[in-house]
Structure 1
Amino acid sequence: MSGGRVVIASGILRAEIDPEGARIASLTHLPTGRQILATTPWADEPRDAFALPDSSGEWHRRYPGGWHVLLPRAGDPPAEVEPPQPFHGEAAWRTWMLAGDRSSCRARVTLRTVSLEIDRTAALIDDELRLDTTVRNASATPVRIGWAEHPAFAGDLFDGASTVGTGEREIPVAAAPSGGFDDVSGAAGSLRITGELRLDLTWDPHLFPRLFVWRERRGSTGFPWWGAVDAVGLEPSSDPYAHPRNALGSIEIAPGETVRSRVVLRVRGIDAPTP
């Protein structure tokens, strides 16, 4: 444990998991010392009593980078849903219970706005980060939710001759300073980042048929980034970013049933053989 975080490692990767949101705060490729996930300059600032009045503003004011899980809704909360959700969903704001060993960390939380029990394990196995998540409906009525994985990769991984491909598509990532957001439909369930390192991200395309592509490469000079953040989010999602407006999402979970997900990130040196 380090400041409440759980530190896990394999021979190739090292990760720190923060209890706030069960966020993967850092992921290091040990042979090169390379940081895989983005971090903001204010990531380690202590929490204070001051907060912006809306959750979107507050999320962006204190956003630390890393890898969040967004449940039961990504993006702005729909006004019609009661009780209201914060921006990017309750799970990312909650303090989770963590239990770790040398190479894996189990995180658990029970949401209060929706009757969901979430159990999430991050494991490092050689050059892979494996995230196994179960979401159980603990109520006596069906619930509909949205779900997105929110890894923010270090922007300079995309410098030089880097490419990002999913299926037969190539996703452009402009050099800094630049920015933008795309909501890609029909995502293939896998993508590859090829540059200084080779990163392969895989997920269930039936559960996550979309891919959010968020680029903040020091392109915003005002609040909240101040030209100081270089991050590229490649985020598998169950639903379009701004739809539906009157519900949490399209995944329906019957009473007592569970939805499961495995997301895998493989990190290799560029000279490693391709399987």
Structure 2
Amino acid sequence: MRRNWAARLRHLTLDGLRAVTLENERLRVTVVPDKGGDVVEFLHKPTDTDFVWLSPQGLRDPRDHRHGAADDVAQFVDHYEGGWQEAFPNGGAPSEYRGARLAQHGEVAGLPWSCEVVADSEEEVAVRLGVRTRRLPYRVEKVFRLRSGTAALEVEGRATNESDLTLHAMWGQHIVYGLPFLRAGARIRLPEGVRVIPHAGPINPAGRRVRPGGPWRWPVVPADGGGETDLSVVPERGGPSDIVYLTGFTEGWYEISGDIGMRVEWDAALLPYLWMWQELGASTGYPWWGRAYTLGLEPFAGMPTDGLAAAVDNGSALSLGPHETKVLSWRAEVLA
């Protein structure tokens, strides 16, 4: 019998794509297995607050070329509906690794995943998603779990090297916030001791750079040498685009809050970096056209956004031995 109380599941179709909703008394979370296992809804029901940013272009099927034939490396952006993605085995820009050409944030974010129910009771619901990459010999799985009465989504991911060789990967959670939750003046909290690594290259002509070597609360300095802005405060709409990398986590967690908040926890031994990306409307060309007001706080293994080859060169990429499995647990909880 299908429940409409306590923890429950719903299978549905969104714009022609398989989706599943995990719901309880406080949360409704919608996942799209047919598109990377993306989280496209994280709704706190008591306050009607959705934490997920949704792109103006909406949800698009990456297998459908009616929207224009996405090439190898533009697949992510051309079909980016917002939401939260799994980035594996490449992070950031297109890259080439041992002869394999990898797209931006590729491969798994653009692939359909299998989906099976592993728990369905009043106490908890859970689904397991799985996929194999096509250009590298990896198997990736993730279990989404929601327990009755909680405001927390629990996720356990597994990445397995299915070859007899030692391979590298970048692994990240592309968690991006937007309206109605994200507001100017919202505060970001991190553990003590976290420090900033600046991005070496420009984001766009309005981009910013960071004083090298600064601790978390050191300011961002605009490229024109003007005033200073505290990284821990979400800027007003129209501010410049930016990306920095945060590291030095003894515990993997952050909180972002205004009238309501979110706390994300993860295994910082496995993902030692937090990418902080903001697109606030200053980018008036492709792909944003001045329409985005969004902030990403993304736990990652590997940096910078130059892709897997660069992360291998600087020693920040994950290394997986023959048939080795890495297990990543993380959770996102509403603070109300």
Q: TM-score when scaled to structure 1?
A: 0.90
How far does residue 200 in structure 1 lie from its aligned partner after superposition? 0.7
Give the gaps of 5 or more residues in structure 1.
270-275
Could you tell me how far apart the structure 1 residues matched to 2:99 and 2:236 are? 41
Note closer, same or farther for the CA distance 1:120–1:246 as it changes in structure 2 (3 Å cut): closer
In structure 1, the residue corresponding to 2:76 is in which secondary structure? helix
* RMSD over equivalenced CA pairs, Å: 2.1
Q: Which amino acid is 1:111 matched to?
A: T
Q: Does the 8 Å CA contact 2:252/2:265 hold for their aligned counterparts?
A: yes
Could you tell me how far apart the structure 2 residues matched to 1:246 and 1:182 are? 15
Residue by residue over 1:19-66, the C-alpha shift from the partner in whole angstroms, topping out at 9 and shown as x without a partner, is: 2111111110011111111001212355334224451x4422331111
Q: Does the 8 Å CA contact 1:15/1:27 hold for their aligned counterparts?
A: yes
Residue by residue over 1:183-242, the C-alpha shift from the partner in whole angstroms, topping out at 9 and shown as x without a partner, is: 223245110112121211111111111111111122322211122222211001111123
Q: Which amino acid is 2:237 matched to?
A: A
Could you tell me how far apart the structure 1 residues matched to 2:263 and 2:70 are? 37
Residue by residue over 1:51-98, the C-alpha shift from the partner in whole angstroms, topping out at 9 and shown as x without a partner, is: 24451x442233111110101110123235322111111111111011
Residue matched to 1:250: 317
- Are 1:25 and 2:40 counterparts? yes
Could you tell me how far apart the structure 1 residues matched to 2:65 and 2:245 are? 34
Residue matched to 1:43: 58
Q: Does the 8 Å CA contact 2:161/2:321 hold for their aligned counterparts?
A: yes
Q: Does the 8 Å CA contact 2:42/2:51 hold for their aligned counterparts?
A: yes
Q: Which amino acid is 1:182 matched to?
A: V
| Aligned counterpart in structure 2 of residue 183 of structure 1, from 245, 252, 255 | 245
| Aligned counterpart in structure 2 of residue 209 of structure 1, from 272, 275, 279 | 272
Give the gaps of 5 or more residues in structure 2.
1-10, 193-215, 218-231
Could you tell me how far apart the structure 1 residues matched to 2:276 and 2:302 are? 14
- Are 1:61 and 2:78 counterparts? yes
Could you tell me how far apart the structure 1 residues matched to 2:311 and 2:21 are? 39
Structure 1 segment 109-128 matched on structure 2, within 5 A: 109-125=131-147, 126-128=150-152
- Are 1:229 and 2:292 counterparts? yes
Q: Which amino acid is 1:151 matched to?
A: I
- Are 1:263 and 2:330 counterparts? yes
Identity of counterpart residues, as a percentage? 22
For structure 1, which segment, 252-261 or 217-226, has the greater mean C-alpha deviation from structure 2 after superposition?
217-226
Q: Does the 8 Å CA contact 1:109/1:118 hold for their aligned counterparts?
A: yes
Could you tell me how far apart the structure 2 residues matched to 1:231 and 1:177 are? 11
In structure 2, the residue corresponding to 1:60 is in which secondary structure? helix
Could you tell me how far apart the structure 1 residues matched to 2:152 and 2:97 are? 40
| Aligned counterpart in structure 2 of residue 199 of structure 1, from 262, 274, 280 | 262
Q: Which amino acid is 2:30 matched to?
A: E
The higher radius of gyration belongs to: 2
| Number of aligned residues | 268
